[in-house]
């Protein structure tokens, strides 16, 4: 075996061993709340109306998202 080939093989073996021995990055399954919009402006409205708006929430996680409470202030 030529010395260059040996060197390449040794390098590849080293890389393989490095990836095998490295700790895997831990990932946990979790829900992820993403709001399509955070502010909504009704602009000018006459007094006496009841204003209504739906905010859309997306769950971009990999576990069910539970809305525990919504408090208005």
Which residues bind to another protein, rule: CB under 8 A? Answer: 30-33, 35, 37-73
Question: What span, in angstroms and rounded, lies between the C-alpha atoms of 1 and 29?
Answer: 49
The nearest distance, CB 21 to another protein, in angstroms, is 30
Question: What span, in angstroms and rounded, lies between the C-alpha atoms of 36 and 54?
Answer: 11
Whichever of 24 and 64 has its CB closer to another protein, that residue is 64
Whichever of 11 and 31 has its CB closer to another protein, that residue is 31
The nearest distance, CB 29 to another protein, in angstroms, is 9
The nearest distance, CB 23 to another protein, in angstroms, is 22
| CA dist list (Å): 42 to 2, 32, 53 | 77, 28, 9
């Amino acid at each position: 075996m030529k010395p260059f080939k040996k060197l390449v093989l040794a390098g590849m073996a080293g890389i393989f061993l490095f990836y095998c021995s490295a700790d895997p990055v831990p990932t946990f399954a979790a829900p992820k709340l993403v709001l399509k919009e955070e502010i909504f402006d009704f602009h000018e409205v006459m007094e006496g109306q009841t204003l209504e708006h739906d905010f859309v929430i997306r769950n971009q996680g990999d576990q069910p998202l539970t809305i525990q409470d919504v408090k208005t202030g």
